[in-house]
Amino acid sequence: MSFQPENFARGEKHRLRLAVDADESLPVLLARGATPGPVLVASAGVHGDEYEGVRAIFEVFDELDPLRMSGDLLAVPVVNAPAFWHSTRLSPVDGANLARVFPGKPAGTLSERLAHGFAQAIIARASLYLDLHSGGIAFGMPAMVGYAAQDPRGRAAAEAFGADVIWGHPHLDPGRTISFAASLNIPWLYTEARGAGRIHPDDLAMMKRGIVNLLHHLRVLPGPPTPAPIQHRLWGDGNTDAGVQAGQSGFLMKCVRVLQRVTAGQCLGRLVDLEGRVLEAYHAPANGLVGLARELPVVRAGDPLFLVVQEEGE
Ligand SMILES: [Zn+2]
């Protein structure tokens, strides 16, 4: 696989299909600025049931004027096409979570090959990398941007992005798109949003504004970013695989919503059986804000249900 963005004409937009291998390919949108400059790489659809970022990339790409740009936008609106066409978070082919297998392998499973091709051909070219996620079909998350707490470049980009909520992460687990970027010393951001299989107009607007603000932040577009006032500064690892999990299958009756402030011990929800008997009750493990809540009420043992997050300095 060889992909040479520098061979495409400047001052134009290019809609491309990049072969990862004989079986799989990536849709690539390349806006080549009239003059050289930094490259913002943006991706969505790493999880196949998250749609806000897909639409944000399509709309921003349509609205950009490459003749005004000094540098490029290199975007992949749907990284995980197999999962996207099944509307699933995980790959229907190999069951993998694509956001846990980076940097991937050239001769591995389909997800590992996708990760490898996407990482080497696309992420590796970034001056700044943005991965657009959301709560997906099953989860609700705040509309927010996350950054590496120890990297001032990431924090500055998060401040410029223009989300109401920003989330600093002191540690980063391996396997993610953003951990691959970090391994190359590329500053990164990711987003979350309400999800639930829908595209809320406010979340779409937040992501579109964020992409454009990052182009201003990198000086690919002239003029300063127009960030929004930040309402919440969250802090912590925020691994959605951690947090409060279901011990068995059942029907979830929540008593909180995303971004609600809770105190330690407060009811988060109850799991009932089909006769309505309470099987499990969930309580906040600490004071904080609800940073993730299961929205799909049918749950199975091991599903993550809630994550309570602290605000910076809390
Ligand atoms: Zn995701």
Q: What is the pLDDT of residues 200-249, one digit of tens each?
A: 999 999 999 999 999 999 999 999 999 889 999 999 876 665 689 999 99
Joined together, the tokens standing for residue 309 give 């997050």
Query: Domain containing 291 — which CATH number?
Result: 2.40.50.100
Q: What is the identity of the amino acid at 146?
A: G
Kindly give the distance from the C-alpha atom of residue 61 to the centroid of ligand 1, in angstroms, as a whole number: 21
Instruction: Kindly give the pairing relationship between strand 188-192 and strand 128-132.
Output: parallel
Tell me how many domains the chain contains.
Answer: 2
pLDDT tens digits for 148-195?
999 999 999 999 999 999 999 998 889 999 999 999 999 999 999 999
Residue 313 pLDDT greater than 90, yes or no: no
User: What was the pLDDT predicted at 240?
Assistant: 60
* Host domain of residue 169: 5-235
Q: Do 119 and 203 fall within a single domain?
A: yes
The predicted model gives 55-76 an average pLDDT of 98
Confidence of residue 56 (pLDDT cuts 50, 70, 90): very high
Kindly give the distance from the C-alpha atom of residue 222 to the centroid of ligand 1, in angstroms, as a whole number: 31
Q: Do 174 and 39 fall within a single domain?
A: yes
Q: Do 159 and 267 fall within a single domain?
A: no
Q: Do 271 and 154 fall within a single domain?
A: no
Q: Which of 235, 253, 269 is the last residue in one of the domains? A: 235
Q: Rounded distance, CA 269 to CA 306, Å?
A: 9
User: What was the pLDDT predicted at 239?
Assistant: 65
Q: Do 64 and 174 fall within a single domain?
A: yes
Q: Do 156 and 44 fall within a single domain?
A: yes
Kindly give the distance from the C-alpha atom of residue 135 to the centroid of ligand 1, in angstroms, as a whole number: 7
User: What was the pLDDT predicted at 228?
Assistant: 84
Q: Do 255 and 181 fall within a single domain?
A: no
Q: Which of 184, 214, 235 is the last residue in one of the domains? A: 235
Kindly give the distance from the C-alpha atom of residue 136 to the centroid of ligand 1, in angstroms, as a whole number: 7
Q: Which of 235, 268, 289 is the last residue in one of the domains? A: 235
Kindly give the distance from the C-alpha atom of residue 294 to the centroid of ligand 1, in angstroms, as a whole number: 14
Asked whether 199 and 183 are in contact (CB, 8 A), the reply is no
The distance from CA 305 to its chain's CA centroid, rounded to whole angstroms, is: 19
Q: Do 145 and 268 fall within a single domain?
A: no
Kindly give the distance from the C-alpha atom of residue 195 to the centroid of ligand 1, in angstroms, as a whole number: 9
User: What was the pLDDT predicted at 241?
Assistant: 59
User: What was the pLDDT predicted at 236?
Assistant: 87
User: What was the pLDDT predicted at 242?
Assistant: 62
Kindly give the distance from the C-alpha atom of residue 133 to the centroid of ligand 1, in angstroms, as a whole number: 4
Q: Rounded distance, CA 147 to CA 156, Å?
A: 9
Kindly give the distance from the C-alpha atom of residue 134 to the centroid of ligand 1, in angstroms, as a whole number: 5
Q: Which residue has the tokens 């998350």?
A: 141
HEC readout, the chain: CCCCHHHCCCCEEEEEEEECCCCCEEEEEEEECCEEEEEEEEEECCCCCCCHHHHHHHHHHHHCCHHHCEEEEEEECCCCHHHHHHCCCCCCCCCCCHHHCCCCCCCCCHHHHHHHHHHHHCHHHCCEEEEECCCCCCEECCCEEEEECCCHHHHHHHHHHCCCEEEEECCCCCCCHHHHHHHCCCCEEEEECCCCCCCCHHHHHHHHHHHHHHHHHCCCCCCCCCCCCCCEEEECCCCCCCCEECCCCEEEEECCCCCCEECCCCEEEEEECCCCCEEEEEECCCCEEEEEEECCCEECCCCEEEEEEEECCC
The predicted model gives 61-78 an average pLDDT of 98
The distance from CA 186 to its chain's CA centroid, rounded to whole angstroms, is: 16
Q: Do 134 and 102 fall within a single domain?
A: yes
Q: Do 148 and 119 fall within a single domain?
A: yes
Residue 170 has phi, psi (to 5 degrees) of -65, -30
Q: Do 66 and 123 fall within a single domain?
A: yes
pLDDT tens digits for 24-54?
899 999 999 999 999 999 999 999 999 999 9
Q: Rounded distance, CA 91 to CA 113, Å?
A: 12
What is the pLDDT of the chain when averaged over all its residues? 95
Kindly give the distance from the C-alpha atom of residue 168 to the centroid of ligand 1, in angstroms, as a whole number: 17
pTM: 0.95
Q: Do 104 and 251 fall within a single domain?
A: no
The predicted model gives 68-82 an average pLDDT of 98
Query: Domain containing 19 — which CATH number?
Result: 3.40.630.10
